[in-house]
Structure 1
Amino acid sequence: MHPYVASLKTLFEQNADPVQAVPMKKYMRDQFEYLGIKTPKNVELQKEFFEKSGFPSLSDLDTILRDLWSLPQREFQYVAVGLLGRFSEQLPAKFIKTIEYLLVTKSWWDTVDSIAGGTVGVHFQRFPDVREKYLAKWRASDNFWLRRTTILFQLNYKKETDFDLLCEIIRENLNSKEFFINKAIGWSLRQYARTDPKAVKAFVKSTPLHPLSRREAMKHLEK
């Protein structure tokens, strides 16, 4: 284990709250272990740690992220996602392999969505060739978390959103029965409706969306 991670691990374990860990684990459907450190305390501990230890070097980032991901308690994955976000504008093109690893390992909405709408979105804007290669790969994947990422990576693009591309990807997933795909479709459309509500209304009207997707997409448009 990288010394940086070992030091962080010690700090977090010293602040564990087993009582809080029970409902936190239950909220995530018992998929992950928790130390019981809720978000405000987590943020406070990270601030304390970073002030003392600084941020890791870019050359160590891959090792540190993978070490954090290997720990059983979910709080360490939250730290990893935050670190990844801090480095989004500095990552080399090849870091997409690490990003993909984080997306497909210990996958759940709490980490995937942050990475998809954050780091992946930035990375694809910075490296068009990477975007072309990995979008094609992920769109065809059997892993629905990767397909969810292709739906969500433009969440923060606003006027820079390639709406035609988003519509293509949505159409590819119209027959999905997966909750997280149908939810993502609605979310992506609802988000883009802030930029172009007419386009979203027209797409929803002309497309046989899953009821969940339609409901999410039109949530603020029908008021």
Structure 2
Amino acid sequence: MSPYVEELQQTLQEYANASIAQQQKAYLKDLFEHYGIKAPVRRSITKYLLTKEARPFKEELDTIVKELWTLDQREFQHFGLDLCDKYKRQWVKSDLSLFEHMVVHKSWWDTVDFIAVNLMGPYFKQFPELIETKMEEWIQSQNLWLQRCTLIFQLKYKKDTNTALLSRCILQLNHTKEFFLNKAIGWALREYSKTNPKWVMEFTDQQQLHPLSKREALRLM
């Protein structure tokens, strides 16, 4: 274990709460172990490790985050999300492979949604030339979490949303029975309805969406 991750582990262990851990484990369908540290507390006790003085060099990020993804307690992965977020100004094209690794390993909505919206979203603002190729690759991947990313990475784009791309991704995934994809379709449309309700209304009228997707899309209308 790297010294940085070891220090993180020691910090988390000091604040472990078995009762809360059981609740958190149940909330995530018993998929992951937990220390039982709620997010505000975790962010407070690990704040120093995210400072410029304490965090690893950018060149170490890939190795550190992948190490965090091998550990059992979910707090390690949640910390890894916050750590990646600190390097936005230093991202390079190859960092996308790390984000993909994070999506397809220990996959669940609690990490995937953050990665898609808060990491991939800003990343593709910096490297828009990669969007078309990656969206098609992920849609064809048969990995539902990568597919979910194609639907929600633009969630914070507002007026900069590429509606042609959003429409294409939705229509390519529209006939699925997968809850997490149908929910994401509705979420993406609902979020964009805050910016362009007319477009969303017309889209939902013209397309045969899953009832869950349509209900979620029109919730704010």
Q: Normalising by structure 2, what TM-score?
A: 0.96
Match of 1:132, SS?
helix
Indicate the residue corresponding to 1:89 in structure 2. 89
Report the residue type matching 1:214 in the other structure: K
Question: Runs of 5+ in structure 2 lacking a partner?
Answer: none
Take 2:51 and 2:100, find their aligned partners in 1: how far apart are those partners?
Answer: 29
Is 1:192 the counterpart of 2:192? The answer is yes
Over the matched positions of the two proteins, sequence identity in percent amounts to 42
Indicate the residue corresponding to 1:138 in structure 2. 138
Indicate the residue corresponding to 1:154 in structure 2. 154
Match of 2:123, SS?
helix
Match of 2:209, SS?
coil
Indicate the residue corresponding to 2:21 in structure 1. 21
Take 1:114 and 1:47, find their aligned partners in 2: how far apart are those partners?
Answer: 19
Match of 2:88, SS?
coil
Q: CA RMSD in A?
A: 1.3
Is 1:43 the counterpart of 2:48? The answer is no
Write out per-residue CA displacement over residues 66-101 of structure 1, whole angstroms, 9 at most, x where no aligned residue.
111111000010000111112123211011111100
Which stretch shows the higher mean deviation, 2-11 or 183-192? Answer: 2-11
Take 1:105 and 1:4, find their aligned partners in 2: how far apart are those partners?
Answer: 21
The total of aligned residue pairs comes to 221
Take 1:98 and 1:123, find their aligned partners in 2: how far apart are those partners?
Answer: 12
Contact 1:125 1:131 in 2 (8 A): no
Indicate the residue corresponding to 2:58 in structure 1. 58
Question: Runs of 5+ in structure 1 lacking a partner?
Answer: none
Contact 2:11 2:46 in 1 (8 A): no
Indicate the residue corresponding to 1:215 in structure 2. 215
Take 1:163 and 1:49, find their aligned partners in 2: how far apart are those partners?
Answer: 39
* Deviating 4+ runs (over 4 angstroms): none
In structure 2, relative to structure 1, the CA distance for the partners of 1:51 and 1:102 (3 Å cut) is closer
Which stretch shows the higher mean deviation, 24-33 or 126-135? Answer: 126-135
Indicate the residue corresponding to 1:3 in structure 2. 3
Take 1:122 and 1:19, find their aligned partners in 2: how far apart are those partners?
Answer: 37
Contact 2:48 2:54 in 1 (8 A): no
TM-aligned CA deviation for residue 2 of structure 1:
1.6
Contact 1:103 1:145 in 2 (8 A): yes
Contact 2:49 2:55 in 1 (8 A): no
In structure 2, relative to structure 1, the CA distance for the partners of 1:82 and 1:51 (3 Å cut) is closer
Take 1:106 and 1:135, find their aligned partners in 2: how far apart are those partners?
Answer: 21
Contact 2:35 2:75 in 1 (8 A): yes
Q: Normalising by structure 1, what TM-score?
A: 0.95
Contact 2:151 2:188 in 1 (8 A): yes
Which stretch shows the higher mean deviation, 125-134 or 200-209? Answer: 125-134
